[in-house]
């Protein structure tokens, strides 16, 4: 049986002609989105770099253009017309990601923030409902976008148990992230969905990935990824993707067409290729992170370890909602900002850099970097350092942290 669970498996399309219930996630990750390759006469994923496409005639080409410009798909007799509207390499990746998420479809964007912006515009731009409920902490870029009011929205921030009380008649969206950036807070998705009622819930699933968590199966409307991170996994592509139902995808594609935020086909190729090793990478990184978190908990320089389950799991998230604890962790250091600065400057294997989810280990200071735009009163503490654990030998990583911590 596939390790996603019955709820997700029942909505997933067939992979290479087999029932998805018969396939493990490792198999799905390798074969997903490749159903048409045999008919094309190829084995490796193709890349279509065309910016424009031949038109059969004015009428059919025009009808197809209108379909895509308003969020639909290309018409069979009208062609793809123009790459800002549709690209087959991007569409192939979208199908693959949706299959892993147990979603009807997915929409890919040029970055995670482009995806987040489109998601907000699609639900507020023409609806007259411009209020958003958000549970902090969130990724710093998302928090900054909501705080800026750039898109004409108003945001109420609350705890996860206060979502229902925070919803108004003009609420368009509920935004959550779990595990949350940077302190790995866990949010009960099903509980938030129940409070939200008819209001769409979007879950930033970047840290968990489809390997460990499927928000759609838990009732969320959208599962959002900064695909730059674990989906890509090698630090060489910027992208965002949202898994959702077809009606939501139509609204998202309409915004994408108007704003020109479609993912470049080369990026889509790299992401699709990366899916084949995603479960293997996640398991290796997660095991490294678990062992490092345990070791850090024994170090006198470390005041607190932020890692799912390290302080218990009172809501029963792990095992019920998540199929693992992931590969992100954070630590609070005795000595505050000075200690954080010293640690990030002394590591040798850990790269001092923003971003996360790659095969190599990274370390960074959220308050000074990724979460710098967040209001000071809710910004991560200056003592907090975030670590993204890679696939290196765990003993080497521990030794690096040991020498850096002194």
- Which of 26, 35, 48, 84 is the catalytic position? 84
Query: Which of the following is catalytic: 65, 82, 139, 157?
Result: 139
> Long-range CB contacts (< 8 A, 24+ apart) of 370-373?
370/139, 370/140, 370/141, 370/181, 370/182, 371/137, 371/140, 371/143, 371/181, 371/182, 372/140, 373/140, 373/141, 373/143, 373/144, 373/147
Q: Which residues lie across from 18 on neighbouring strands? A: 15
Answer yes or no: 95 catalytic. no
CA 50 – CA 383 distance, rounded (Å)? 49
Q: Please report, for residues 19, 54, 65, 352, the alpha-carbon distance to residue 330 in angstroms, rounded to integers and kept in the order given.
A: 40, 52, 47, 14
| Whole-number Å distance between alpha carbons of 161 and 359 | 35
* Residue partners of 399: CB distance under 8 A and separation at least 6: none
Burial of 104 (0-12, 13-18, 19+ CB in 10 A): middle
Q: Are 172 and 124 in contact (CB under 8 A)?
A: yes
Asked if 371 contacts 403 with a C-beta cutoff of 8 angstroms, the reply is no
First to last CA, the chain: 47
229 noted as active-site residue: yes
Catalytic residue (one of 143, 185, 188, 204) = 204
Active site residue 204: yes
- Give the span between the Cα atoms of 202 and 204, in whole angstroms: 7
Beta-carbon contacts of residue 235 (< 8 Å; ≥ 6 apart): 355, 358, 360
Point out the catalytic residue in the list 130, 136, 229, 256. 229
Is 400 in the active site? no
Residues that are catalytic: 84, 139, 204, 229
């Amino acid at each position: 049986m596939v390790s996603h669970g019955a709820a997700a498996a029942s909505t997933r399309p067939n992979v290479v002609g087999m029932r998805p219930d018969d396939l493990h996630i490792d198999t799905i990750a390798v074969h997903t989105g490749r159903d048409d390759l045999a008919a094309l006469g190829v084995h490796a994923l193709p890349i279509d770099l065309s910016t424009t496409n031949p038109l059969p005639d004015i009428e059919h080409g025009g009808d197809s253009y209108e379909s895509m410009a308003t969020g639909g798909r290309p018409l069979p007799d009208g062609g793809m017309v123009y790459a800002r509207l549709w690209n087959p390499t991007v569409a192939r990746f979208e199908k693959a990601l949706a299959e892993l998420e147990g979603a009807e479809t997915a929409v890919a964007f040029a970055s995670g923030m482009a995806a987040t912006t489109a998601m907000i515009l699609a639900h507020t731009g023409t609806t007259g409902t411009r209020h958003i409920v958000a549970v902090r902490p969130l990724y710093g870029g998302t928090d900054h976008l909501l705080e800026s009011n750039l898109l004409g929205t108003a945001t109420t921030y609350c705890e996860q148990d206060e979502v229902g009380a925070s919803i108004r008649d003009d609420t368009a969206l509920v935004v959550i992230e779990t595990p949350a950036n940077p302190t790995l807070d866990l949010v009960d998705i099903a509980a938030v969905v129940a409070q939200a009622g008819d209001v769409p819930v979007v879950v930033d699933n970047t840290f968990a990935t489809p390997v460990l968590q499927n928000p759609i199966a838990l009732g969320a409307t959208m599962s959002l990824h900064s695909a730059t991170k674990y989906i890509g996994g090698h630090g060489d592509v910027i992208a965002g993707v949202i898994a959702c139902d077809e009606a939501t995808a139509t609204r998202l594609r309409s915004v994408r067409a108007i704003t020109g935020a479609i993912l470049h086909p080369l990026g889509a190729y790299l992401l699709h290729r990366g899916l084949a090793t995603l479960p293997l990478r996640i398991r290796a990184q997660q095991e490294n992170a678990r062992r490092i978190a345990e070791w850090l908990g024994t170090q006198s320089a470390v005041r607190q370890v932020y890692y799912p389950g390290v302080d218990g799991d009172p809501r029963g998230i792990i095992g019920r909602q998540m199929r693992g604890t992931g590969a992100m962790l954070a630590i609070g250091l005795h000595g505050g900002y000075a200690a954080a600065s010293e640690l990030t400057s002394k590591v040798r294997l850990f790269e001092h850099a923003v971003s996360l989810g790659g095969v190599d280990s990274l370390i960074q200071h959220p308050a000074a970097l990724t979460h710098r735009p967040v209001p000071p009163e809710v910004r991560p503490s200056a003592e907090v350092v975030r670590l993204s654990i890679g696939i290196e030998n765990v003993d080497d990583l521990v030794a690096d942290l040991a020498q850096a911590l002194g």
